[in-house]
Amino acid sequence: MKCPICNKGNLKKGKTKEYMCGVFLGDFPAVVCAKCKESFTDSATTKKIEKAAKEKGVWGLSAKTKITMAGNSLAVRIPKKIAEYLHLENSEEVMIYPENNKLIVEASA
Ligand SMILES: [Zn+2]
């Protein structure tokens, strides 16, 4: 069977290391493309990955947010569930910097 992503590689049985929000969820059985390394899991495995993500509290953490004006600066609203996950408090100081086209907000653990 050919890979549906690159249309070149053959799919082989293997394992995939799953991460969500930088948290390692575990190794899961998958078919992996020999060429582009894209991995595909069946629906039962996808459910297991979802379950692992929920157990680690990272399921559904990513969210859309809007940039707003705050004086001459721009402000990013941090959704409540992410604030709670990172234990962020109002007025807390955080480090903020760009990295590979991403905006990193570093909480002091
Ligand atoms: Zn491929």
pLDDT at 68 over 70: yes
Helix (H, G, I), strand (E, B) or coil at 44: helix
pLDDT tens digit sequence for 16-67: 999 999 999 999 999 999 999 999 999 999 999 999 999 999 999 999 999 9
pLDDT at 70 over 80: yes
Question: Which domains are seen in the chain, by residue range?
Answer: 11-55 (no CATH), 67-106 (2.10.260.10)
Q: Where are the beta strands (DSSP E) in the chain?
A: 11-20, 23-33, 39-40, 67-70, 73-76, 95-99, 102-106
Residues with CB under 5 A from ligand 1 (ion): 3, 5-6, 9, 33, 35-36, 38
Q: Given pLDDT bands bounded at 50, 70 and 90, which one contains residue 108?
A: confident
